[in-house]
Structure 1
């Protein structure tokens, strides 16, 4: 076995990295810029958008500094409109090659994207897509880490919203069809995926998947024609300043087919036991063996690259095997066959996935249960000529298996599961395994017990009351800027099972909820309440 220090790859070009991985904001090199809002001028707040933006900026700005990172009251409408969107050749969304915005977002019935901002300028504190005119200067990659920023359902599509604002140079746009989860990891997870050898599109879709399976991320690429846009969407993984002729948009998203629905698991396990978890399921010898099994030449399979955080990589021409410092294994085999749009039979896809799990020994010491099936879908269109809008088609099927303990499943989006992506040819394009080794049980509860009676009366707080208190805390945080919030929420999905995210696995009741923060905006949250352990 040989080991080698992993050299950080620059997403733009090869230059010497600066020390550390904290966002560097200085100079006017016109590479990167970001805005993030937790406190708004006239709507309720959010919690994790600054962490989201920092997670995005940290990695690329270790190579080149960002022009700016404005927060809260520093985010104003002039940065989004043509007159000043490249102010002093340094500030605004069209002053940089890559612009990242994290905050609230919405879309009206006419397909106009709208976002509230943090400060007044010209007596206005909202930006609207139909008042934007970008990519005629520096902008090439636009990230909207907001709700409803890149819709693909009903009358809405990327052409309807984003054709006119793009003045002809935009290469790619990233956003959401649905309300999204308020979470700090989007930006960081994007670069985690990219460092595994994934394209920009795949890295963005998979980052969202890791946070929640109940939201729909979307990525769009532009091109002079359909062929160019499709190729860019499925191959681009290095930033380029070269402008793109606007002739066609092609987009992808992860979602469920209209005929499918997701069920909720609400049955309590019989035994009140927590589980003790070991993250070291994939040691060096095992990942080298797996790499050789899947086609990596033995000499390359025996060479493990590592970084200062403990992430490991085995790299060959067509295959990248990566194990992160939490023990999650990802094997990336490359892109799907995009020319075959005849959806693979689901039973066949499941059979292919089960065979791979058996061949790689993933089920040897892990109890697995077949989970949900989702798809990577694609469509495209143009306003050129008389206009064209293609029907959506599925190009990959994602078969998910959930780790169990004595029949009780994991509840997590990013722990205790295996997800295998298969194209319509039946070729595996990606394997993601975050299962953990269970090394024991504990009968003695560690985190939740029945309270002793006070004055002869029990004072136990019911599970539903705990959920309501969690929602109230969210609402109170979002109201910190003085904008009142409501406490209304809708349960999108709920499940009882083990939480595999730590070293002690507790039985939890998890709800994915959509909270009405005010009359304008809702946001999704994942709430877990321990019920056993």
Structure 2
């Protein structure tokens, strides 16, 4: 069982250093003694049922629950308001620390999951679950947060932390910020998903990521076509930058807002147009189970130059294992799914120009070849993703620079890509100096391929016309989505396809892969709101 020391997960006494089986780590780095309710650490709000005129959501309670269920292991959150219990008083200055326990300024880390939008003046708006004081909305213009307890805000909503189109975190949040350290949100419209909160803590705990990287990587594992963002504040530029990229333990101290620094990534750009032909005879793939024995983990460590220390034996914990964390040099983490992440270096933040996309692909291909990552699986260089950063003061903001470029190699199975976000891929991170900073290997060897079992008896199938195009295949799940959204009384006025999001390939589910058609769409939800959804149809 792992222990905590100064906020870091360490091995029990007598266990070899650098081989750390992971249990849950406390993001407050406490002594492990559970805090009582009202400890002013966490507050949570989520809304699925909105007033008439706004389409309801379906995954926000589970999203917020992923955050809530992780942190409650260490301290009972002050509250979790849902639906009609989420009212505008929670966010307004008058009651945001009501009775020293309730409201968005009563706790250090606050999480909100629901709808969100931003107007032309850079003001962020959230519809509430009901009306209070004549208002069914809360806005950043009316918030004053951080003068009491709040230090970290998580907005799992659309457009909560915009960077583009003349916006900046300073424009939206400067007036509201009275001591906040960090804010997490989205530059783009986001997908209605149950996984943001849980994935954030999995990245933080299992992969050892700092808060910003955990937030950005959690979004990647949900959908590749949205843009997560994060911002940090500090008295100086260096302090704000250090906090943004290195803060990984919740801190109760207020931060100066003299300087702001933010980072985000855009939707990944495909290198080549995807193949969208439907397969003539769909197949099911069986993937070989990940081998995560101590011997295999030691072999992986040696392969990447990770030092284990004398006599170290690596064993998987319930959340994974971290190797080489205290030894200097590369660090390897393996999560419960068997995804391997190797950190060779932190990104060089010296402001060098990023390598071109072609040069980044060349560097990444060299890394794939050096470590033999395509020896047992088929990979194709598929996407390039840039992580940007910028910042400044209320008077002057810098132009964005590329901090890191990620080249994504997608795994092919029988010539078709794996389309599950965050799985069936190798992702290589490259900084401005051309240094390979990280490699994420989420591939699985294919054990066998079999013909897919028919979804219906032959007689029934003969009466129904098999889809001949991607659009035909996706029509049924899209209509089901629209019927569900319309059940609340409002029919969506518009549905648009997110560019570059349509794919035909294998969805990886545990050890199995099923051929599917997948697409991300954006739905008009009324009242100036939108939300993205993933529609997927099995091919049988």
Q: Decide which of 308, 312, 318 is 1:308's aligned counterpart.
A: 318
Q: What is the DSSP-based 3-state SS (H/G/I as helix, E as strand, rest coil) of the residue aligned with 1:164?
A: coil
The answer to whether the 8 Å contact 1:411/1:499 transfers is: yes
Partner of 2:491: 485
The answer to whether the 8 Å contact 2:224/2:267 transfers is: no
Using the alignment, how far apart are the partners of 1:227 and 1:8 within structure 2?
31
The alignment status of 1:460 with 2:460, answered yes or no, reads: no
Q: What is the DSSP-based 3-state SS (H/G/I as helix, E as strand, rest coil) of the residue aligned with 1:335?
A: coil
Q: Rate the CA distance shift 1:293–1:5 in 2: closer, same or farther, 3 A.
A: closer
Partner of 2:453: 446
The answer to whether the 8 Å contact 1:497/1:507 transfers is: yes
The answer to whether the 8 Å contact 2:259/2:393 transfers is: yes
Shift of the alpha carbon at 1:280?
1.2
Q: What is the DSSP-based 3-state SS (H/G/I as helix, E as strand, rest coil) of the residue aligned with 2:459?
A: coil
Q: What is the DSSP-based 3-state SS (H/G/I as helix, E as strand, rest coil) of the residue aligned with 2:239?
A: helix
The answer to whether the 8 Å contact 1:179/1:522 transfers is: yes
Map residues 143-162 of structure 1 onto 2, 5 A cutoff: 143-162=154-173
Q: Rate the CA distance shift 1:246–1:501 in 2: closer, same or farther, 3 A.
A: same
Partner of 2:347: 336
Partner of 1:21: none
Map residues 196-207 of structure 1 onto 2, 5 A cutoff: 196-207=207-218
Q: Rate the CA distance shift 1:315–1:261 in 2: closer, same or farther, 3 A.
A: closer
The alignment status of 1:6 with 2:59, answered yes or no, reads: no
Using the alignment, how far apart are the partners of 2:74 and 2:426 within structure 1?
34
Q: Decide which of 495, 499, 502 is 1:494's aligned counterpart.
A: 502
Shift of the alpha carbon at 1:300?
6.5
Shift of the alpha carbon at 1:254?
1.2
The alignment status of 1:180 with 2:190, answered yes or no, reads: yes
Q: What is the DSSP-based 3-state SS (H/G/I as helix, E as strand, rest coil) of the residue aligned with 1:101?
A: strand
Partner of 1:375: 386
Partner of 2:74: 63
Q: Rate the CA distance shift 1:164–1:453 in 2: closer, same or farther, 3 A.
A: closer
Using the alignment, how far apart are the partners of 2:213 and 2:146 within structure 1?
23
The answer to whether the 8 Å contact 1:143/1:174 transfers is: yes
Partner of 1:253: 264
The answer to whether the 8 Å contact 2:42/2:107 transfers is: yes
Map residues 417-428 of structure 1 onto 2, 5 A cutoff: 417-428=425-436
Deviations 1:242-273, CA, capped at 9 Å, x for gaps: 1111101110001159x988744312345533
Partner of 1:122: 133
The answer to whether the 8 Å contact 2:518/2:536 transfers is: yes
The alignment status of 1:475 with 2:491, answered yes or no, reads: no
The answer to whether the 8 Å contact 1:510/1:528 transfers is: yes
Using the alignment, how far apart are the partners of 1:335 and 1:494 within structure 2?
33
Shift of the alpha carbon at 1:220?
0.3
Provide TM-score, normalisation by structure 2.
0.90
Q: What is the DSSP-based 3-state SS (H/G/I as helix, E as strand, rest coil) of the residue aligned with 1:59?
A: helix
Using the alignment, how far apart are the partners of 2:218 and 2:272 within structure 1?
21
RMSD (Å), alpha carbons: 2.4
Q: Decide which of 511, 532, 538 is 1:530's aligned counterpart.
A: 538
Provide TM-score, normalisation by structure 1.
0.91
Using the alignment, how far apart are the partners of 1:100 and 1:435 within structure 2?
32
Shift of the alpha carbon at 1:530?
1.7
Deviations 1:433-482, CA, capped at 9 Å, x for gaps: 11111111113x2254684258xx722363645533323333343445x3
Shift of the alpha carbon at 1:410?
1.4
Q: Decide which of 104, 123, 148 is 1:112's aligned counterpart.
A: 123
Q: What is the DSSP-based 3-state SS (H/G/I as helix, E as strand, rest coil) of the residue aligned with 1:299?
A: coil
Partner of 1:285: 295
Q: What is the DSSP-based 3-state SS (H/G/I as helix, E as strand, rest coil) of the residue aligned with 1:390?
A: coil
Q: What is the DSSP-based 3-state SS (H/G/I as helix, E as strand, rest coil) of the residue aligned with 1:452?
A: helix
Using the alignment, how far apart are the partners of 2:105 and 2:416 within structure 1?
50
Q: Rate the CA distance shift 1:301–1:487 in 2: closer, same or farther, 3 A.
A: farther
Using the alignment, how far apart are the partners of 1:382 and 1:89 within structure 2?
32
Q: What is the DSSP-based 3-state SS (H/G/I as helix, E as strand, rest coil) of the residue aligned with 1:511?
A: strand
Long gaps (5+) in structure 1: 19-23
Partner of 2:307: 297
Q: Rate the CA distance shift 1:261–1:370 in 2: closer, same or farther, 3 A.
A: closer
The answer to whether the 8 Å contact 2:187/2:228 transfers is: yes
Q: Decide which of 141, 147, 171 is 2:181's aligned counterpart.
A: 171
Question: Which segment is superposed worse, 347-356 or 523-532?
Answer: 347-356
Partner of 1:411: 419
Count the aligned residue pairs.
516
Using the alignment, how far apart are the partners of 2:138 and 2:96 within structure 1?
12
Q: Rate the CA distance shift 1:262–1:452 in 2: closer, same or farther, 3 A.
A: same
The alignment status of 1:325 with 2:341, answered yes or no, reads: no
Q: Rate the CA distance shift 1:4–1:193 in 2: closer, same or farther, 3 A.
A: closer
Using the alignment, how far apart are the partners of 1:400 and 1:301 within structure 2?
36
Q: Rate the CA distance shift 1:529–1:381 in 2: closer, same or farther, 3 A.
A: same
Q: Rate the CA distance shift 1:353–1:340 in 2: closer, same or farther, 3 A.
A: same
The answer to whether the 8 Å contact 2:473/2:517 transfers is: no
